Amino acid sequence: MIRVLRGNLISAPRLGKLDVVERGYLVLEDGVIQGVFDKLPETFATAPVTDYGEQLILQSFADMHLHAPQYPMLGMGMDLPLLDWLNTYAFPTEARFSDPDYARGVYRSLAGELIANGTTRVCMFSSLHTESTWVLMEELERAGVTGYVGKVNMDRNGAPGLLQESRSESVRETIRWLDGCRFEHVKPILTPRFTPSCSNELMTELGRIAAQRGLFVQSHLSENRDEIAWVRRLHPDCGHYWETYDKFGLWKDHTLMAHCVHSDEAERAAMRRSGVAAVHCPNSNVNICSGVCPVRQMLDEDVWVTLGSDIAGGDQLPMYRVITAAIRASKNRSIMDKWTTDFLTVEEAYYLGTTSGHRYFGAGEGFAAGDRLHAIVVDDSDLPPGGGPLSLIQRFERVIYLMSSRNITAVWSDGRCVAKKM
Ligand SMILES: [Zn+2]
């Protein structure tokens, strides 16, 4: 079925480039974008039109790193560094997800909040619990969120008796979980928590499973200096943190690595060579005192950079807040670098929070023909008066900085309208 959406269309096909079509037309056939036009082509003249008036139609967001079972502790424990924060807050909170009924309530509200804030694609960590991970996938599917979810693997340095598996249990449960994943829009991704959490034997098994089943892998990399020193002690044969994944076959195309704050030039080159994507999580990096990621340098070196909320190390779930946090982090980096590096512009950070993440799922550039539509409709009429008529670019910038979920009036995910307020 053909249908047409009309409104002010703004997308970011490439880093730093915006495509803007004022009062344009986006044509869909069965949820698949046929094209964006400033005048409606004759062939589509009889198709039904949903007219969003003066509202903005933007790309929806892709949150490429977050921990679903940390949602209950959002905004807490922010004065602790990573390793203390994990032991004091994160592990006890995640342990509660041994109860799938508890998980149901938390995950239903998380999935609803993601859609309300315009996040339609995710790469997400669950806890180590198989049943609750299925519950998470079900609730995302129900709300209209798409993407990848991983049952976490951790057989050492967790919280024994509370949140840790034996190696054989971890492998057995991972296979049981994978065999039970039958969701249309939410797929499994292998998720060793991070190198200190997984024995060499477990990593070997995970590498084998990834190869046998053709699965993508997500984990953490070079987030914090104490963590990096610890990894070095655990793997004295590896010169770099990334090699501790590579030696087990987990460092490959589409491996997703959160943070990479302290990755040096050699580690960044390894990412580029292998098609590994970095997930920059600016709020988390500041909150748990990890550092300020050199994002501009990574982009200049052609590293694939995406954005993540990293709740609950990050305190903000909405990706428009993560986008502005990425801009602020890069400005801090420029100050630290004595202005030898340029900071991220609004257009660039929006690209990282949209197209760069959507690419992970096979999408093209911006509102590309042939892609299933992922979009949000934004009513900015209640934002502060701009002191005169605003251009679409000015409205776009103001929306990215100031919008909240109340401004999002419709959400399209995988070609379906999954939320609307009108
Ligand atoms: Zn994380």
**Measured distance CA(405)–CA(113) in Å, rounded:** 9
Cα separation, 198 vs 218, whole angstroms: 13
Ordered strands of the 186-188 beta sheet? 61-67, 119-125, 146-150, 186-188
Decide: residue 191, CB within 10 A, 0-12 exposed, 13-18 middle, 19+ buried: buried
Residue pLDDT, tens place only, 226-241: 999 999 999 999 999 9
Same domain, 43 and 70: no
- The residue-averaged pLDDT of 23-45 equals 98
Please indicate, yes or no, whether residues 316 and 376 belong to a single structural domain of this protein: no
* CATH number of residue 416's parent domain: 2.30.40.10
Do 225 and 315 fall within a single domain?
Answer: yes
Q: Both 267 and 375 in a single domain?
A: no
Q: Are residues 86 and 102 in the same domain?
A: yes
CA of 172 to the centre of ligand 1 (A): 24
In terms of Cα–Cα distance, which of 351, 306, 296, 308 is closest to 16? 351
Ligand 1 geometric centre to CA of 19 (Å):
32
> If you measure from the C-alpha of residue 179 to the centroid of ligand 1, how many angstroms do you get, rounded to a whole number?
25
- Provide the CATH number for the domain around residue 254: 3.20.20.140
Same-domain pairing of 392 and 273: no
pLDDT at 106: 98
Q: Is residue 25 part of a domain?
A: yes
Q: Are 65 and 42 in the same domain?
A: no
**Residue that terminates a domain, selected from 329, 353, 377:** 353
Q: Does residue 190 belong to any structural domain of this protein?
A: yes
Token pair 């770099």: residue: 240
If asked whether residues 211 and 349 sit together in one domain, one would say: yes
Flag whether pLDDT at 387 surpasses 80: no
**Centroid of ligand 1 to alpha carbon of 220 (angstroms):** 6
**In angstroms, what is the span from residue 287 Cα to ligand 1's centroid?**
13
Ligand 1 midpoint to CA 290 (Å): 12
- CA nearest 69: which of 312, 288, 315, 259? 312
The residue range of the domain holding 311 is: 61-353
Gap from CA of 28 to ligand 1 centroid (Å): 36
Q: How far is the CA of 116 from the centre of ligand 1 (A)?
A: 22
Confirm whether 358 is domain-assigned. Answer: no
Per the prediction, the chain carries an average pLDDT of 97
Q: Classify residue 359: in a domain, yes or no.
A: no
Name the least confident of 83-87, 90-94, 140-144, 182-186.
Answer: 83-87
What pLDDT, in 10s, does the model give residues 312-367?
A: 999 999 999 999 999 999 999 999 999 999 999 999 999 999 999 999 999 999 99
Summarised one tens digit per residue, pLDDT across range 81-119 is 888 888 999 999 999 999 999 999 999 999 999 999 999
Instruction: Tell whether 308 and 406 lie within a shared domain.
Output: no
DSSP state of 341: S
Q: What distance in angstroms lies between residue 339's CA and the mean position of ligand 1's atoms?
A: 29
**263 Cα: distance to centroid of ligand 1 (angstroms):** 16
Q: Which two three-digit tokens encode residue 409?
A: 């009036």
Centre of ligand 1 to C-alpha 310, Å, is 5
User: 360 in a domain, yes or no?
Assistant: no
15 and 97 inside one domain? no
3-state secondary structure (DSSP) of residue 257: strand
Q: 3-state SS of 218-231? A: EEEECCCHHHHHHH
Q: From ligand 1's centre to the CA of 363, what distance in Å? A: 24
The number of domains in the chain is 2
Share of the chain above pLDDT 70, in %: 100
In a domain, 88, yes or no: yes
Q: Are 378 and 399 in contact (CB under 8 A)?
A: yes
Residue 82 Cα to ligand 1 midpoint, Å, equals 10
Do both 263 and 385 map to the same domain?
Answer: no
Query: In terms of domains, do 222 and 304 share one?
Result: yes
Structure-block tokens of residue 366: 């911006």
CA of 226 to the centre of ligand 1 (A): 16
For residues 199-210, give the mean pLDDT: 98
Dist. CA 354 → ligand 1 center (Å): 19
Distance 113 CA to ligand 1 centre (A): 19
Going from the Cα of 306 to the center of ligand 1, the distance in angstroms, rounded, reads 14
Q: Is residue 284 part of a domain?
A: yes
Q: Does 372 map to a domain?
A: yes
